[in-house]
Structure 1
Amino acid sequence: MPENGFSINASPPDDDEASEPLVESDAVPPQCCSARLNLAVLMFLGFSVVYGLRVNLSVAMVAMVNATEPGPAQNHSVVRACPMPAGMENNSDTFPGPEGVPQYPWDSETQGWLLGAFFFGYLCTQIPGGYLAGHYGGSVFLGVGVLGTAVLTLLTPVAAQLGVYWLFALRALEGFGEGVTFPAMMALWARWAPPMERSRLMTLSGSGANFGAFVALPLTGYICQTLGWPAVFYLCGGAGCLWAVFWFIFVSDDPRTHRRISEEERNYIVNSIGSQGTGHGWSVPVLPMLLSGPLWAIIVTQMCANWSYYTLLTSLPTYMNNILHFDLKSNGFLSALPYLGALVVSTLSGVAADSLIEKRVMSVTAMRKLFTITGMMFPAVFLVAVGYSGCSHVLTVTFLTLSTATGGTTAAGVFINQIDIAPRYAGFLLGITNTFGTIPGVVAPIATGYFTKDVGRLHYIITSAPDVRIKFTDMMRQEGDEPEGAATDV
């Protein structure tokens, strides 16, 4: 139970004195060049690195795999699900990378497991990371989480050379290290973010995830084609190590212990947050949390929002390559467009949310619900529209971009709601909600691999032999799935 007496089951009443800022607006020190803004910028860059480390395999996979199914015939006409984009009709499907770069015959199921491996480890450290960050402070956990993931990323080419199981284990370990990052962020902002600035500071720092995806996707494609896919992991890992140096030099867990903060800003932050800006100790109210209606509402909403987000994050480059047939450079750029839109929308939504609260246009609760609903409904509509866009490259890219972009409003809604309902336990609560929210990250790419596993096999049968029906029926008979009355001749 928080010291202010409010239950974990509900946020404080919006008209209660405890929800009022303790510092008048004319006493608020400017954000420009402030310690809290510097913290937000460093977090922004950190999460840019984090998502670069997370998505680089999604694009590099196109370069790492020489075929989705082994053994295609050398001379056959290719029947495509969709035509090639204009001006690319004469391009071959062979990846135009540097010579001597290894490629592997991983089928779509194996690719799905490798893309989902990260989230197996990511699941394990959310709650412990949030708990420890809430007790000790989040700066060390966020810094070590990014640094550890970056160091492991440097070993990716070696792990791929050793085999699928080694690469799967490495990606799971990367997720294990990275799992503490978002709970640590929430624990830090519980001590650093004044209530009237929470939305803008937290959405700015969290939008680094979208910026990282936006930069990493096209850059990965370019690096794969010019330097080879191993260079992707060396450069991304090196960037993470460099960021960690600046993080450990300039960041402090608490404004009270920050060496370069002004006294005016320190007093403003400490007085605004009050007693909630301290660690929660070793004891946490687990049972009230498990019985909390608002907490379960956040959990369900995050799971639903993350299903589409993680599906696109891990599988969109493969879709752009195998279905829409964009070359790798175009693939990376077009796969990145949705995250540019999400970056802009999420950042603006944070500014708008704080403005609505400050001007008392609506309560905190109503504002969070509004931004969450818009961030769930519009992406769903646009994602359904993708299914009806057929092979139109323009419509598909447009709807995918609009779907992810409009989902950015949830950044000022459900994804920071934990700090509203229990500020002191915000890191631990985010660990809980993000654990459930990560389940779609595990399931989505694996489900995508299973759903599409027969596409490549059937494509090979249709395009590699004239005696199509015999080969297809033989394959079905071997698996015990031969349809009744199936023909055995042409």
Structure 2
Amino acid sequence: MALVTIKFFDLVPARFNLWLMLFTSCWIVYMLRVNMSLNLIAMVPQTKSNYSSRSQCEPPDGLSNETLHHVDITDVRQAPRQVPGGGSFEWSADQQALILGAYFWCYPVTSLVGGMAAERWGPRYVVLVSSVASAILTMLSPVAARMSHIGLVIIRFFLGFAGGFIYPALHVLVARWAPPAEKGKFVSAMMGGTLGTVVTWSLTGPLMEKFGWASAFYVPAVLTFVWCILWWYLVADAPAEHPRISDAERKYIIEALGDKVKKSKGLPPFKSIITSFPFLAMVVLHYGNLWGLYFIMTVGPKFVSSVLGFELSAAGVISALPYLGRLFMATIFGAIGDCILARRLMTTTTIRKFFCLFSHIIPGILLVLLVYAGCSTALSVTLITLSMGFNGAATLTNLQNHQDLAPNYAGTLYGVANAVGSTAGFFTPMITAYFTRSGDTFEQWRPVFFIGASVYVVSAIFFVFFGTGNIQSWNFGKEENEAKDDKEKSSDLKEINGSSERKGDAKEVKETSLNVAS
């Protein structure tokens, strides 16, 4: 079966295989990252007092949903059922926040160096090693949890260490493989993590209810090992190194990329990068995006389960809907961006700034509206789904801008931006734990949503004023810039000489005409 699958992939274009592996790579890394958000609900006992905090959205005795104007799906609004072996760990809210946030303690550091590692040793190898390590750590998670919550914190710490390398390495692959006219489609593959979240949260609940919470660690780990085999066979660091790509496809990619991308072996120009205001604007925009994304990813299941009152399996499905909306809209926005660029309807800079309206500002406004939705679960789920759906436009803003600024160092730029932005991964659980320490009511969750909305909107406004989509001079390095300057000077000199020669010829012709006339 595996051999037949591999032969099938050999029949399709290498770019399609790469897009598919980029997409599934993000799926894998998010599957191993977000499963803990839902697993904790099963691992920690749901006491009667915890459940009563959710009952704010339950109709009082003798009243119907219609009496309260409460639009709801009543058959999933029940006391949570126990999973086999569930409720075994008496961990406090702060300990749970520690477990969720531990993934992001080292993630920013390895994101910072992940792009440089991929540019130096090859993104194919970096992604493979990181994925194998992540699968092994996920397999060990149940053993660590039974030891203590500190054991699980350590596992999550090293999972974040390995996971930090992956996204910068993938962006190096995009820079080396994606022709400019297809950049939006390739970047949209980075939304594979969205589907990973959808599938993980949709299937984890039923899986745990039937086989126990440990199965939610073992199954993703096994799937990751299988995926690693396909990755090693199908992916190459660059078109020139792919053993099965057609000559026509290789030529098309290399000619489309031109001289903007090279296999860099030296250190990136950090001084130029750090002092670049367009790069700073991109980092701020990326931080705003990740704040909203990580907020819903890490504490979304808790909000759906504790405040809206859905049981475990339903909480996974409902929490996944926003990510499904994000995936769908990202594909649409990516195609729209490629179409606009192909027809030259907007400049790259205009596209990046205009679509901030959809990727950041509208999602922020919808988060504010969400906290006023009250117990109308249908409205709450709709608003949070729309917020994440519009954020799919990030494929045209912060997820592409580093490719614009310096495709030679796209992995490094994304790594730095991701290192800064990923700090939101441990800030959001801490902020949520602080405001919801005494209970889970809408009033206690309201400041959390206000903070998320503010970060979304402010980061977009900053980018609109200071961002750009133009390639920066430090992309080419000092030697290349000097060569380009020499080439331009040589071209100017030739033009001046040519002009002088033409003037001399004209003068000679004029003198000859006068002599003939005389």
TM-score (norm 2): 0.78
Q: Residues 64-116 of structure 1: CA distance to partner in whole angstroms, max 9, x if unpaired?
A: 10047xxx689x987822217553499434x3212x44621112111111111
1:87 equivalent to 2:59? Answer: no
Shift of 1:279: 1.9
The equivalent position to 1:307 in structure 2, one of 286, 291, 304, is 291
Shift of 1:456: 6.9
Name the residue aligned to 1:108.
Answer: 93
1:427 equivalent to 2:411? Answer: yes
Contact 1:58–1:317, Cα closer than 8 Å, also in 2: yes
Answer 1 or 2: which has greater helix percent: 2
Name the residue aligned to 2:184.
Answer: 199
Contact 2:307–2:440, Cα closer than 8 Å, also in 1: no
Output the CA distance in 1 between the equivalents of 2:375 and 2:86. Answer: 32
Q: Which amino acid aligns with 1:360?
A: R
1:39 equivalent to 2:18? Answer: yes
Output the CA distance in 2 between the equivalents of 1:165 and 1:176. Answer: 16
Contact 1:199–1:412, Cα closer than 8 Å, also in 2: yes
Q: How does 1:129-148 map to 2 (within 5 A)?
A: 129-148=114-133
**In structure 2, do the counterparts of structure 1 residues 348 and 188 end up closer, same or farther at CA, with 3 Å as the change threshold?**
same
Output the CA distance in 2 between the equivalents of 1:194 and 1:121. Answer: 33
The equivalent position to 2:166 in structure 1, one of 181, 190, 194, is 181
Q: How does 1:17-28 map to 2 (within 5 A)?
A: none
Name the residue aligned to 1:279.
Answer: 263
Q: Which amino acid aligns with 1:33?
A: V
1:151 equivalent to 2:130? Answer: no
More displaced 10-residue stretch of structure 1: 274-283 or 129-138: 274-283
**In structure 2, do the counterparts of structure 1 residues 278 and 386 end up closer, same or farther at CA, with 3 Å as the change threshold?**
same
Contact 2:128–2:232, Cα closer than 8 Å, also in 1: yes
Contact 1:67–1:105, Cα closer than 8 Å, also in 2: no
Q: How does 1:65-76 map to 2 (within 5 A)?
A: 65-67=44-46
Output the CA distance in 1 between the equivalents of 2:367 and 2:221. Answer: 33
Output the CA distance in 1 between the equivalents of 2:297 and 2:279. Answer: 26
Output the CA distance in 1 between the equivalents of 2:313 and 2:197. Answer: 15
Output the CA distance in 1 between the equivalents of 2:179 and 2:330. Answer: 19
Output the CA distance in 1 between the equivalents of 2:319 and 2:219. Answer: 20
Name the residue aligned to 1:48.
Answer: 27
Output the CA distance in 2 between the equivalents of 1:103 and 1:379. Answer: 37
Output the CA distance in 2 between the equivalents of 1:315 and 1:146. Answer: 25
Name the residue aligned to 1:168.
Answer: 153
Output the CA distance in 2 between the equivalents of 1:339 and 1:361. Answer: 30
Q: How does 1:341-490 map to 2 (within 5 A)?
A: 341-455=325-439
Output the CA distance in 1 between the equivalents of 2:223 and 2:438. Answer: 38
Output the CA distance in 2 between the equivalents of 1:243 and 1:314. Answer: 25
Number of positions where the alignment pairs a residue of Structure 1 with one of Structure 2:
419
Shift of 1:273: 1.0
Shift of 1:275: 2.7
Output the CA distance in 2 between the equivalents of 1:73 and 1:214. Answer: 30
Output the CA distance in 2 between the equivalents of 1:288 and 1:355. Answer: 32
Output the CA distance in 2 between the equivalents of 1:129 and 1:90. Answer: 43
* Runs (5+) with no aligned partner, structure 2: 1-10, 60-71, 442-518
Shift of 1:274: 2.0
**In structure 2, do the counterparts of structure 1 residues 164 and 141 end up closer, same or farther at CA, with 3 Å as the change threshold?**
same
**In structure 2, do the counterparts of structure 1 residues 104 and 187 end up closer, same or farther at CA, with 3 Å as the change threshold?**
same
Runs of 4+ in 1 over 6 A off after TM superposition: 76-79
Q: Which amino acid aligns with 1:177?
A: A
The equivalent position to 2:218 in structure 1, one of 222, 234, 241, is 234
Output the CA distance in 2 between the equivalents of 1:290 and 1:90. Answer: 50
Name the residue aligned to 1:118.
Answer: 103
Shift of 1:254: 0.9
Shift of 1:276: 3.0
Contact 1:317–1:331, Cα closer than 8 Å, also in 2: yes
Q: How does 1:294-333 map to 2 (within 5 A)?
A: 294-333=278-317
More displaced 10-residue stretch of structure 1: 119-128 or 419-428: 119-128
Output the CA distance in 1 between the equivalents of 2:144 and 2:414. Answer: 32
Name the residue aligned to 1:25.
Answer: none
Contact 1:157–1:233, Cα closer than 8 Å, also in 2: yes
What RMSD, in angstroms, separates the aligned Cα atoms of the two structures? 2.0
Contact 1:345–1:405, Cα closer than 8 Å, also in 2: yes
